[in-house]
Structure 1
Amino acid sequence: MSNYRLDVVSATVADAVRHAGGLMFDRVRAGWRVVVVTEDTSHSTALTILGTRTRSPGEPEEIPAKAGRVVHIRVLPGDSPSVNRRTTGVALPRAGLGSQLLFWGPRVDCEPAEPKYPVRHELSPAARRFKGCALHAAGLDTHVEPSEEFWSNDVVDADLFADLLLDSQIGTVESVARPSSASLVRG
């Protein structure tokens, strides 16, 4: 049995909702365990609307008794020149172990030779509606784009996502229509 986890690391609840609210909702709806790692205790209603849990950076992670295969995605702000355990207060998943790191915001070139891969999450209609409600609860503008943009230092591993298909003709990852889950698209 697989254990699917999405952790969104953010300084504020408002930033987590603004940048990854649709991804969080769609993953909760698909049965993933979604946690927002933040010290911000305001706007908890926004996270309740999206169906997520919260955890402070120093709090230990819950480890399921029978983990099986673990699929783990961390979503982080990309405006820090060094994203690591010290700056985020949490341990980052290691590459190659069913893990993926995604970043939102400006691309920071820590390593100039290191390529950056754009990743786009297409929001389901329900995610757009619930994200709008969560944005309102967080006191933000309620306009919701049809997709959320991220980037990664690694090519998105299509094996981690049952809803992705690599299109070799154009070199992008495109979504396969599945009603119960959202898609991440490398663009």
Structure 2
Amino acid sequence: MRYRLDVVAPSVAEVVRNAGGWLVDRVMAGWDVTVMITGDDDIRPLQILGVDTADLETVMRLWEERPHPQTVAVAADLFVSDERVREGVLGALDQGLTEVTLWGDSWPEELDSTVDLVQHELSAAARAFKAQALAAAGTSGPVDRTEAFRCGVMSCPSVAADLVPAS
């Protein structure tokens, strides 16, 4: 069995900028990673990261038919703006069986008690691939050694040890 990570974001550039290195490290660890985005962005930066892509609207219509992933990662602003995404995240947090990871600046206050600040230290390979993906997305710049997230508390231990509490 391979672990699955589903990522929900409004754009390719946002995924690469906020979670690109973490996604590379998950792919290299053997995870199946699928990024679901809206619109018709150029997916080449995501291909550089080694992830699969899907249309968010199509996936949302078929969500109940999809196998549930071990982790769901979501852009916080999409949580705020899309009721379907919000309901899915809150449902996953309530069930406690799926790790829920969020990133972004527009943080929803209603999640403050259910998520903790965590970070992922990027491998050298992840930093290199992220730099190339950023360049392909037209948003090149320095690549930090860590990426910061908020992660939902699970009722069972996490399947991954790559997200650690941020100090």
User: C-alpha displacement at 1:6, in angstroms?
Assistant: 1.0
- 1:131 corresponding residue in structure 2: 130
Q: Which has the higher strand share?
A: 1
Contact persistence 1:58–1:90 (CA under 8 A)? no
After superposition, the CA RMSD in angstroms is 2.8
- 1:144 corresponding residue in structure 2: 143
Identity %: 33
User: C-alpha displacement at 1:13, in angstroms?
Assistant: 0.4
Change (3 A) 1:83 1:72: farther
2:38 and 2:121 mapped to 1: Cα distance?
28
1:50 and 1:76 mapped to 2: Cα distance?
17
| Alignment TM-score, normalising by the size of structure 2 | 0.80
User: C-alpha displacement at 1:77, in angstroms?
Assistant: 1.4
User: C-alpha displacement at 1:21, in angstroms?
Assistant: 0.3
Query: How many residues were matched structurally?
Result: 159
- 1:33 corresponding residue in structure 2: 32
**Structure 2 stretches lacking a partner, 5+ long:** none
- 1:52 corresponding residue in structure 2: 51
- 1:186 corresponding residue in structure 2: 165
- 1:121 corresponding residue in structure 2: 120
2:114 and 2:98 mapped to 1: Cα distance?
18
What is the SS of the residue equivalent to 2:57?
coil
Q: Which has the higher helix share?
A: 2
1:42 and 1:78 mapped to 2: Cα distance?
19
**Structure 1 stretches lacking a partner, 5+ long:** 65-69, 165-182
Change (3 A) 1:104 1:111: closer
Aligned mate of 2:73, from 67, 72, 75: 75
- 1:7 corresponding residue in structure 2: 6
User: C-alpha displacement at 1:91, in angstroms?
Assistant: 4.5
Higher relative contact order (CA 8 A, sep 6+): 2
Any idea what the Cα deviations from partners look like across 1:87-145, whole Å, max 9, x if unmatched?
Answer: x3994463456411111012320266x25410101111100000000000000023110
1:150 and 1:41 mapped to 2: Cα distance?
26
| Alignment TM-score, normalising by the size of structure 1 | 0.72
1:51 and 1:115 mapped to 2: Cα distance?
31
- 1:23 corresponding residue in structure 2: 22
